[in-house]
Amino acid sequence: MDASVNRIPSSADERALLVAIHIHGHDEDLVVQSLDELSMLVTTAGAMIVESLILKRKSLDAAHLIGKGQMERITALIAEKNIRLVVFDQNAVKPAQIRNLETIFKCRVVGRTEVILDIFARRARSAESKIQVELAQLRYILPRLKGLGGVLSRLGGGIGTRGPGEKMLETDRRHIQRRIAKLNDRLEGITEHRKLIRVGRAGEVRGAVVG
């Protein structure tokens, strides 16, 4: 039987449902532990966790991860509790699976990786860290565009759509590739600038010692 674990809501606005999948034969304690970790990540990313589910499966469904009855249960929860985001405790949810689930749930669906990248984006402060985070996001997105028809839409905001760099609306593969190249150039420039500053400071120290 599937388990339900209620969470204490935070003050955030984005109402989220967390979904973990317990595959038959795997250690359920590890599933619970991983879900607890995801809960902390999602809260850190700024969402309000409305409820968490542990769904039992013999194997992952290729098209939807979970079964028809489980999807119906989640759809009912979304309507009942005004949920805006479903987060699966899976590191790499396939683009086609996300598209299929979003069509059924009528809300956004993300995996653990998107949540982690979102946290990095929120915490990036320096120019260098912002570039590194945006590069990580774009490199994660690029190979997944094939399953999304080659186009990424980042409308609506929220977890999985934030980034420290430019906002991408209806972004295609070529644009992302150009953006990655541009960010790499900027990152190299920052690295070279830092080296020059370090060399200059070393020269000042040597001059002071000799003098």
Cβ–Cβ < 8 Å for 20, 52: yes
Of 103 and 140, which is predicted with more confidence? 103
Residue with tokens 């060399």: 199
Closest CA to 55 of 76, 28, 82: 28
Q: Encode pLDDT of 149-165 as tens digits.
A: 554 554 345 666 565 55
The overall average pLDDT reported for the chain is 81
Q: Is the pTM of this model over 0.85?
A: no
Give pLDDT, residue 3.
57
- Span 18-24, average pLDDT: 97
| CA dist 35 → 5, 67, 77, 189 (Å) | 10, 19, 18, 40
pLDDT bucket at 141, cuts 50 / 70 / 90: confident
Is 80 exceeded by the pLDDT of residue 10?
Answer: no
111, exposed or middle or buried, with CB in 10 Å at 0-12, 13-18, 19+? buried
**How many whole angstroms separate alpha carbon 132 and alpha carbon 183?**
8
Give pLDDT, residue 159.
67
Structure tokens at 160: 């999985």
* 10-19, 29-38, 143-152, 184-193, range with the lowest pLDDT: 143-152
Percent of the chain with pLDDT over 90: 43
Is 50 exceeded by the pLDDT of residue 38?
Answer: yes
CATH numbers and ranges of domains, the chain: 1-123 (3.40.50.11060), 125-211 (no CATH)
* 65-69, 97-101, 118-122, range with the lowest pLDDT: 118-122
Is 80 exceeded by the pLDDT of residue 200?
Answer: no
Give pLDDT, residue 75.
98
Percent of the chain with pLDDT over 70: 74
- Span 85-102, average pLDDT: 91
- Let me know how long the chain is: 211
**How many whole angstroms separate alpha carbon 91 and alpha carbon 41?**
13
**How many whole angstroms separate alpha carbon 161 and alpha carbon 31?**
26
